[in-house]
Amino acid sequence: MAFQQILGPSSGSSSSSGFQYMNSPFGDTTYTKVFVGGLAWETQSETMRRYFEQFGEIVEAVVITDKNTGRSKGYGFVS
């Protein structure tokens, strides 16, 4: 697997502190949105967030609900 060099916010300096090396063929996947299906009807967004925090920082965790009934549709997304 190849390493991809990503210029950071301090890329104008000559030090290496402004560089990040991503071990991914897709580049920086920091804010990737992941589909989560097969959720129990009673699963709430906060419960899903707490579960996925064991894998890293969570920007957003949302369970999709029916706008008329407010009931979960059984899937959601985690970023």
Q: How far apart (Å, rounded) are the C-alpha atoms in residues 20 and 51?
A: 27
Q: How far apart (Å, rounded) are the C-alpha atoms in residues 50 and 67?
A: 24
Whether the full predicted model's pTM is greater than 0.85, yes or no, is no
**Tens digit of each residue's pLDDT (9 = 90 or more) over 24-67:** 676 776 678 899 999 999 999 999 999 999 998 899 999 999 99
| Nearby residues of 41 by Cβ (< 8 Å), 6 or more positions away | 71, 72, 74
Q: What is the CATH number of the domain that holds 66?
A: 3.30.70.330
> Which domain does 58 fall in, by range?
34-78
12 domain residue, yes or no: no
9 domain residue, yes or no: no
Q: How far apart (Å, rounded) are the C-alpha atoms in residues 32 and 39?
A: 20
pLDDT value, residue 24 = 62
pLDDT value, residue 12 = 45
Q: How far apart (Å, rounded) are the C-alpha atoms in residues 53 and 18?
A: 27
* Domain tally, the chain: 1
